[in-house]
Amino acid sequence: MSGFVIRGGTVVDATGTRRGDVAVDDDGTIAAVGEGLEGGDVVDASGCVVAPGLVDLHAHLREPGREEAETVETGSRAAALGGFTAVVAMPNTSPAIDCASVVREVLDLGRSAPCDVHSSGAITVGRAGEQLTPMAEMAELGVRLFTDDGDGVQDAGLMRRALEYASGLPVPVTLAQHCEVAALAAGGHMHEGEWSSRLGIPGQPAESEELMVARDIVLSRLTGMRVHFQHLSTGVSVDLVREAKRRGLAVTAEATTHHFTLTDAEVASYDPLYKVNPPLRPDADVAAVRAGLADGAVDAIATDHAPHTQEAKEQAFDEAPPGMLGLETALALALTELDLPIEQVLALLSWQPAAIAGLSDQHGGPVAVGRPANLCVVDPTETWTVEPTASASRSRNNPYAGRTLTGRVRHTFLFGEPVVLEGDAQR
């Protein structure tokens, strides 16, 4: 054994928490876990938590098509800096990821990235909501999560057929839904309520999300297929999923860092930095999302990392595109904002999303001999101030500028390679 030893940390994974060094072999697997390990180089982890790398179910890497905002390479670097060892790239690229050739392109771009890039696939061709994509040929290339993210599949009949068709694929896949009933949301640029009424910005009601959550819960029951709900943002959505789980339905859900951190009151600045879809919601919804993360109604924290150029965000609020960055701040926001033990935060950011994405064989731990060394080392007490210009992303639409957060990623290892050391990207 040569390799290196991550020394002095506390190992946290789905099996529990214990003091321990982690020895990583040259082949990128974990060689030993235990106290007082010797051999090879030493990476300091004293005072830190050594955990399975984080997994983001929801990142917009913008390639192909919008390389001025982000590329697979820059987005992956931001991910690695945020402690992620795997991201699922959303399909709303140009062209959309709706067939094998585009999946192949994204995977090719990801091969040299400092993070394991997985592609999602669209449910409908061009994400247009009309015709099913060739899911089998995409699944053959490794796609496990299908979504029309950016839009919900509006036609309930089509969604039913998508679920039924997917159930017959040779590998298990998950259909994920961006829940937004267009007929209710159309033309809305923020949450409809007190603030939209006062600010004169057309709103979209919480119900446009909730109605599709309810619809897909019953479609999950009808088809027996698993449905994953993306970026839940309202109290009723969280309640619906909680109740569906209580009834034994195969549903999972994610919530974003911004939906448990920011409220629609931010929009009073009219800064399109705070424009995002689903929109920022009032306090009560933020509290409900936090409660859902705490009690297991929501399974994962996702970033919905959505880079946009400065020019795009320097339009009027209703003309600017929705979306905000999230990969580099996710873990720190969760540790700072959520009143949860680090073990639970890591479950929400690592092994639970890994399972939903079908990546558990390589990501999400456990930290055990023979497993791939996809790891992040986090100092849970370090405080730092968010500085958007310091981001590895090509874009700067970071709504947390100037915030002081607690908890920082020190090192990230991808299949044993140190891609981040002491907070610096190594490539």
Partner 1 sequence: MSHDLLSVGDLGADGIDEVLQLTDSFVEVSERAIPKVPALRGKTVAWLFYEDSTRTRLSFETAARRLSADVMNFSVASSSVKKGESLRDTVQTIEAMGVDAIVVRHRSAGAPWQVAKWADASVVNAGDGWHEHPTQALLDCYTIRQHLGSCEGRHVAIVGDVKHSRVARSDVLAFTAMGAEVTIVGPPTLLPPSLEGWPVAVSHDLDSVLPKVDIVYLLRMQRERMASGLIPSLREYTARYGLTRRRVDRLGEDALVMHPGPMNRGVEIAADVADLPRSVIVDQVRNGVAVRMAVLYLLLGAGSDKVLTGVEGAS
Catalytically active residues, by annotation: 304
**Closer residue to partner 1 (CB): 40 or 321:** 321
User: Which parts of 319-378 interact with partner 1 (CB under 8 A)?
Assistant: 319
Considering just the CA atoms, what is the radius of gyration of the chain in Å? 20
In the three-class reduction of DSSP (H, G, I as helix; E, B as strand; rest coil), residue 34 is classed as strand
Segment lying near partner 1 (by CB under 8 A), choices 26-34, 198-206, 338-346, 393-401: 198-206
303-402-324 Cα angle (round to 5): 30
**Closer residue to partner 1 (CB): 308 or 411:** 308
Are 230 and 151 in contact, with CB atoms under 8 Å apart?
Answer: no
Query: Which has the closest alpha carbon to 61: 427, 392, 347, 415?
Result: 392
**Closer residue to partner 1 (CB): 118 or 189:** 189
**Closer residue to partner 1 (CB): 162 or 267:** 267
Q: Does residue 382 interact with partner 1 by CB under 8 A?
A: no
Q: How many residues of this chain bind partner 1 (CB under 8 A)?
A: 23
Q: Does residue 316 interact with partner 1 by CB under 8 A?
A: yes
Query: Which has the closest alpha carbon to 410: 58, 13, 53?
Result: 53
Cβ at position 197, least distance to partner 1 in Å: 4
User: Which parts of 77-136 interact with partner 1 (CB under 8 A)?
Assistant: none
Q: Does residue 318 interact with partner 1 by CB under 8 A?
A: yes
Give, for 251, the enclosing helix (H) or strand (E).
Answer: strand 251-256
Cβ at position 414, least distance to partner 1 in Å: 37
- Between CA 106 and CA 119 the distance in angstroms is 7
Q: Does residue 400 interact with partner 1 by CB under 8 A?
A: no
Are 44 and 7 in contact, with CB atoms under 8 Å apart?
Answer: yes
In the three-class reduction of DSSP (H, G, I as helix; E, B as strand; rest coil), residue 85 is classed as strand
**Closer residue to partner 1 (CB): 131 or 269:** 269
Q: Which two tokens stand for residue 382?
A: 């370090």
- Between CA 208 and CA 346 the distance in angstroms is 31
| Contact residue for partner 1 among 170, 200, 248, 370 (CB under 8 A) | 200
Q: Does residue 264 interact with partner 1 by CB under 8 A?
A: no
| Contact residue for partner 1 among 82, 129, 203, 323 (CB under 8 A) | 203
Q: Could you tell me the CA-to-CA distances from 324 to 27, 48, 204, 216, 280 in Å, in that order? A: 37, 29, 18, 26, 11
- Between CA 336 and CA 260 the distance in angstroms is 11
Q: Does residue 201 interact with partner 1 by CB under 8 A?
A: yes
Alpha-carbon dihedral sign for residues 329, 204, 339, 86: negative
Q: Does residue 311 interact with partner 1 by CB under 8 A?
A: yes
Cβ at position 373, least distance to partner 1 in Å: 45
| Contact residue for partner 1 among 317, 351, 400, 413 (CB under 8 A) | 317
Q: Which two tokens stand for residue 263?
A: 């409220």
Cβ at position 323, least distance to partner 1 in Å: 16
Segment lying near partner 1 (by CB under 8 A), choices 20-28, 193-201, 238-246, 382-390: 193-201
| Contact residue for partner 1 among 38, 108, 155, 314 (CB under 8 A) | 314
Please report, as ranges, the residues that interact with partner 1 according to CB under 8 A. Answer: 192-194, 196-203, 205, 269-271, 311-312, 314-319
